[in-house]
Structure 1
């Protein structure tokens, strides 16, 4: 595994920035190892909801997990507010960095991820192939 670390600056979009990094580096199979930072606005699709929900105000990034690939990524974000209340969901565009987002990404050069329709879940799900 190769490891890359990126730092996002204020007002950068977390999802768009990750997608750009994956595209620019032609990552066929990657994983988020860790992420710390803060957001000034968040946009998540909560469990079993068809649309995203926007959360205004400053939040700490508690975790960011998921798979990354030029063929499609799947990322979940957990955030906490000033009282410690934590919520999480599917990362959508609109999560804007407040002070920083420091992200370590594991790149798996021996693998290739794709997203293919699963007949049981009816969603495009992860398929892993050797490179």
Structure 2
């Protein structure tokens, strides 16, 4: 496993920055190891919803989980507001960094992650290819 570390700066778009990093580093099978930071705008898609929700306030990033690859990224984020109440959903474009985001990504050479349309779900789902055979 290779480990990548990056820090995002104020006003960067979280998902766009991750997408750019994955492409620049040519990550074929990445996964989030840890991520913390803060947002001044959060854009999420909640469970079983087709629309994005934009929240304009200050939030702490508690966690980001999921997979990253040049073929696509699928990430969920958990954030907390100033009262400590938390919520989460699909990470969408439009999550804007407030002060920082400290992100550690693992990458495997053993696999390639693809995103292919699954006829059962109607979504592009994770397709795992072993590079060992």
Unaligned runs of 5+ in 2: none
Task: Determine the C-alpha separation between the residues in 2 that align with 1:5 and 1:59.
Answer: 22
Counterpart CA distance in 2 for 1:20 and 1:118 is 26
Give a deviation string over 1:66-105, Cα, whole Å, max 9, x none: 1000001100011110001111000111101111100000
Matched, 1:55 2:18: no
Q: Mean Cα displacement is larger for which, 118-127 or 41-50?
A: 118-127
CA distance in 2, matches of 1:58, 1:86: 12
SS in structure 1 at match of 2:56: strand
TM-score, normalised with respect to structure 1: 0.98
Structure 2 counterpart SS, 1:73: strand
Q: Distance in 2 between matches of 1:119 and 1:93?
A: 26
CA RMSD of aligned residues (A): 0.7
Which secondary structure state, in structure 1, belongs to the residue aligned with residue 70 of structure 2?
Answer: coil
Which blocks of at least 5 consecutive residues in structure 1 are unaligned?
A: none
TM-score (norm 2): 0.96
The residue number in structure 2 matching 1:81 is: 81
Q: Which residue of 2 aligns with 1:4?
A: 4
State the aligned residue count. 131
CA distance in 2, matches of 1:101, 1:6: 8
Q: What residue is the counterpart of 2:24 in the other structure? A: 24
Q: How does 1:42-121 map to 2 (within 5 A)?
A: 42-121=42-121
Runs of 4+ deviating beyond 2 Å:
none
Where 1:18 maps in the other structure, the secondary structure is: helix
- Once residues 67 and 9 of structure 2 are traced to their aligned partners in structure 1, the CA distance between those partners, rounded to angstroms, is 22
Shift of 1:119: 2.0
